[in-house]
A and B are shown apart, each in its own frame.
Chain A
Amino acid sequence: MITTSSKLFYGLGAGSLVGAVLWMISGNSALGTVALFFLATALLFAGAIASFVRDGHVLSTDTAAHATAAATNGSPRASLWPLGTAISVGVLVVGLISSPGIFKVGVALTLAMLGEWMIQNWSERGSADSAYNTKIRDYLVHPLELPVAGALLLAVIVLSFSRLMLALDKSAGVAVFGVAAALVLAVGTLIAFRRNVSRRIVGAMSAVVLVALASAGVATALDGERDQLTEAAAEDHFAHRGCTEEKEYSDKKASRSVGAKSNILATVILRDGQLVAEVAGYEGLQSEVYIQRTNPSTILFINETDEARRMVVSYGKVVEDLGEGVEREIALESCTSKVEKGGQQSVTVRIPQPSFASDEPFSITVPGVESARLTVVVP
């Protein structure tokens, strides 16, 4: 049906089309043809939309259309999308001045809000039946909306939880999560026993918990991680730095709770300037440690002296050929980071070659303590 406004679009569209053809024949640059074709397409499309929605209104004389046209169907319903779009644009602008990350979030949010807004508009003019209109909207966007909403919810929970765990002191964490778990169990039990709890109460409770969790997450995120972690990050605990005796790095609070403590290959102790080893299966302290060839083996170092020390496992050299007759010797060694008095650190070694194949014996030593040495044998 050719409505008033569609006539305009169709006319302009047809004109552009003719223009495009003429331009093409005239042999001018192809760009003009392309541009005019696109213009024509866009105008004809707009005309088609105007036809489809009957210019957004129905002639009072067209009685037949009163029953069927979408345009006769009530006024648009309340919508959150304009507000959402405004906020998103705000985020976008803030991002523009502060950080590219926020800007990208703003762009994504703005596009999402505009998209939702457009789809709602479109659906409200879908037919004269508003229930049907809602249905087509849901049909189109739910497959996108629901997973995204679920993922967002999950992200909020996970993020808040992890911020909380990173900020809480280790021992306080045990208490807090113990109590929280007990509470969940208690509430779950209560609900299970009172079968007629209304959905609304359960929903409200979940909402309260979610809000509490999210605010705890925000609060702790602003507060920062617990001191131990900040310290470890500042001291760069996990970076690789040679095995020498340098002073500047030392783990002030080297872990006393190394996870891989049980059933490891050996525990090596620095005591009174000497190294001794406790080896699973051997009675008493050992001065020799057997390590199976190519087998990843964990050795725990305990420093019982006052200075911060590290343990170094040395297992020979490889010679790297740098070409043109130049060779470089690389010492094969693995070490713990520096450990304060009473601290523990483990190191996992995988020694590729047997000790008999090396000119110098394999050893475990402590830089700065000459007398501390254990023999390593790799059969």
Chain B
Amino acid sequence: MNPNDGMNDNLNDNQRHGDSVKKTPRRRLWALAATGAGLLALAGCAKDAPQDTWQPAGPNAEQIDNLQQPVFLVAGIVGVIVFLAVGWAVFRYRDRGQGIPEQTHGKPVLEITLTVIPVLILIGVAIPTASTIFDLAKTDDTEMIVNVTGQQWWWEYDYPANGDNADRYGIDAPIVTSGQLVIPEDTKVLLRVTSRDVIHSYWIPKLNGKKDSVPGRVHPLRIEGSQPGIYAGQCTEFCGLSHAYMRMETVVLSRPDFDAWVANQLSSYTPPAAGTLAAAGESVFISQCARCHQVNGLANADGSLIVSAPEQYVVSGAAPNLTHLMTRNTFAGASWDLLNSSCRDDVWNATPEEFGARYLAGVSEPCLNQKDLREWLRNAPEKKPMYADPTKLQETDGKYRGMPALGLTEDQIDALVAYLLELK
């Protein structure tokens, strides 16, 4: 075959159209294609890719990675071969006005070979895949259990106070948090994943594969982090209006740091000192927020404990427990930071050694991201789309999906922010 065949054809084509510029359009096209491909390849090298499955940070994710590398290699090689073969056939046998070639029906040897080879490849891929799946499903060496409950559009975590949780980690009363899941380093944590409303899916790409959270079912998902740090993820099953704002993070702490975290979560509630702005905030909270949000230990003036009743106001029947809000550093489905950007960088970019102390410092007033939190309190559904228009709730019996706008004054917001800052 004459290697210039294609070129000549193309020139003829251009000449036929009476085009005076001969090679330029072609070159331009090549340049464009090359740039596109280059950009695409470069995108793969992004440093700040918190949800990259190719950077495993725990044994479960490593197992998946160890499986996908060879599978991807095999698939890549096969893909390249197929593309080359198709390209060659298209080019070599393109229509140049030649006659129709001899027509044959069936070539048993070729057909059988082309069936057997893929079958062998697939078997080769299937064996390690199946064994990885079974390995990942193992639960008998669990060291800690956390219940994970999805609802529109945030995740709740509760730590049962029994079994290993109590014996090994001193969790002697249930801990309920949201958004950020905190686990000890090098610990086989079993998440019992379920949902209060629609199907969601829990996925921290650097720590394990994803698991659907299905109402009425409890799905086990093993997670383990081998280095302190924050690992990001997001709901991966479309779950309605604010699916994109349903994110989550898993925070891995060294064992001593984790113990400190547990002790703090179990510490009892101290009301703000009388006469402070925060004390004013507490009373706003009791009148405006406590019907949905639980703050453990919060009490009425007469000393009776306040129990929230989100089941009366929210479709999913739940709202985040805010007892230790300022120990997490994101809020509302981990979609906004509670830390301002410089304090955030300090935590997120900390080395594994520094990380624990910085995370445990929580959110203090100089570090608070006032803007987003205030916007949230001013008008939550404007910040995060939610079905929270009180005039349009016939279908849900007057219940909200998400948090409604409460029409607070700026004074009330000032007081609330001061109060929330004490919830550590």
Q: A283 — which chain B residues lie within 8 A by C-beta?
A: 139-140, 142
A296, B215: Cα distance in complex, Å: 7
Stretch in B35-43, B189-197, B387-395, B415-423 with 4+ CB within 8 Å of A:
B189-197
Query: In this assembly, does B227 line the interface, its C-beta being within 8 Å of a C-beta of chain A?
Result: no
Which chain A residue has the least Cβ–Cβ distance from B148? A292
Partner of B194, one of A260, A282, A295: A295
A379 touches B174 (CB 8 A): yes
Partner-binding segment picked from A9-17, A200-208, A347-355: A347-355
Q: Across the interface, do A379 and B158 meet the contact criterion of CB distance under 8 Å?
A: yes
Nearest-neighbour CB distance to chain B for A359, whole angstroms, equals 12
- Chain A nearest CB, measured from B369 CB (Å): 28
Shortest Cβ distance from B395 into chain A, in angstroms? Answer: 19
Using a CB-CB cutoff of 8 Å, which residues 275-330 of chain B contact chain A?
Answer: 294, 296, 305, 307, 309-311, 316-318
Question: Given A293-B318, A294-B196, A352-B317: A265 and B218 within 8 A (CB)?
Answer: yes
Interface pick from B50-58, B159-167, B230-238, B339-347: B159-167
Q: Is the CB of B318 within 8 A of A263?
A: no
How far is B246's CA from A152's CA once the two chains are assembled, in angstroms?
50
Which residues in A have their C-beta under 8 angstroms from that of B176?
379
Residue of B nearest to A294 (CB): B317
Please state if A294 and B174 are interface contacts (CB–CB under 8 Å): no
Please, what's the 1-or-0 string for A338-358, where 1 marks a CB less than 8 Å from any CB in chain B? 000000000010101110110
Judge if A280 is at the interface, Cβ distance under 8 Å.
yes
**Bound-complex Cα distance A74 to B135 (A):** 86
CB contacts (< 8 Å) of B307 on chain A: these are 353-354, 357
Question: 1/0 contact trace for A274-285 toward B, CB 8 Å?
Answer: 000000111100
> A281 to B220, Cβ gap below 8 A?
yes
B370: chain A residues at CB < 8 Å are none
Neighbour of A290 across the interface among B160, B214, B318, CB < 8 A: B160
What separation, in Å, do the CA atoms of A286 and B161 have in the docked complex?
13
Complexed CA–CA distance, A294 and B267 (Å): 25
Name the residue on B nearest A265 (C-beta). Answer: B218
Chain B residue with the shortest CB-CB distance to A266? B218
**In the complex, residue of chain B having the shortest beta-carbon distance to the beta carbon of A350:** B317
Q: Are B305 and A295 in contact (CB under 8 A)?
A: no
B: contact size bracket: 35 or more
Tell me which of B142, B175, B318 contacts A281 (CB under 8 A). B142
Q: Is A112 an interface residue (CB 8 A)?
A: no
Total A-B contacts with CB atoms under 8 angstroms apart: 83
CB B24 to nearest CB in A, in angstroms, measures 57
- Shortest CB-to-CB span from B421 to chain A, Å, is 25
- The answer to whether the Cβ of B383 comes within 8 Å of any Cβ in the partner chain is no
Cβ–Cβ < 8 Å partners of A264 in chain B: 216-218
Residues on A with C-beta less than 8 A from B139 are: 281, 283
A357 & B305 in contact (Cβ 8 Å cutoff) = yes
Question: Does B129 sit at the interface, judged by CB under 8 A?
Answer: no
Q: Is A298 an interface residue (CB 8 A)?
A: yes
Chain B: minimal CB distance from A294 (Å) = 3
Closest to B158 in A: A379
Chain B residues 193 to 238 lying within 8 A of chain A, measured CB to CB, are 194-196, 214-220
Question: A114 contacts the other chain (Cβ, under 8 Å)?
Answer: no
Task: Give the shortest distance, in Å, between B291 (CB) and chain A (any CB).
Answer: 13
Question: A280, B218: Cβ atoms under 8 Å?
Answer: yes
Given contacts A281-B139, A281-B218, A354-B307, A292 and B147 within 8 Å (CB-CB): yes
- Chain B CB within 8 A of A58 CB: no
Instruction: Verify if B149 is at the interface (C-beta below 8 Å from A).
Output: yes
For the complex, give the distance between the alpha carbons of A262 and B216 in Å: 10
Name the CB-closest residue of A to B312: A352
Is B145 an interface residue, CB under 8 A from the partner? yes
B274 to chain A, nearest CB (A): 26
Distance, CA A291 to CA B317, complexed state (A): 14
Known: A264-B217, A293-B317. A281 touches B145 (CB 8 A): yes
Q: In the complex, how many angstroms separate the beta carbon of B353 from the nearest chain A beta carbon? A: 32
Report the nearest B residue to A379, measured CB to CB: B174
Contacts A294-B317, A295-B317, A377-B174; A348 near B216 (Cβ below 8 A): yes
Q: What is the bound-complex CA distance between A115 and B223, given in angstroms?
A: 73
Give 9 nearest A-B pairs by CB, closest first.
A294-B317, A379-B174, A263-B217, A357-B307, A352-B311, A379-B158, A290-B160, A294-B311, A280-B218
Given A282-B163, A292-B149, A348-B216, output 14 extra A-B contacts at Cβ < 8 Å: A260-B216, A263-B214, A265-B218, A282-B145, A290-B162, A292-B156, A292-B158, A294-B310, A295-B195, A295-B317, A297-B194, A350-B317, A377-B160, A379-B175
Interface positions of A (Cβ within 8 A of B): 260, 262-265, 280-283, 286, 288, 290, 292-298, 348, 350, 352-354, 356-357, 377, 379
18 intermolecular pairs with C-beta atoms under 8 Å apart: A263-B218, A264-B218, A280-B218, A281-B145, A281-B192, A294-B316, A294-B317, A295-B194, A295-B196, A296-B196, A296-B216, A297-B194, A348-B216, A350-B317, A354-B307, A379-B174, A379-B175, A379-B176
| Chain B residues near A (Cβ < 8 Å) | 139-140, 142, 145, 147, 149, 156, 158, 160-163, 174-176, 190, 192, 194-196, 214-220, 294, 296, 305, 307, 309-311, 316-318
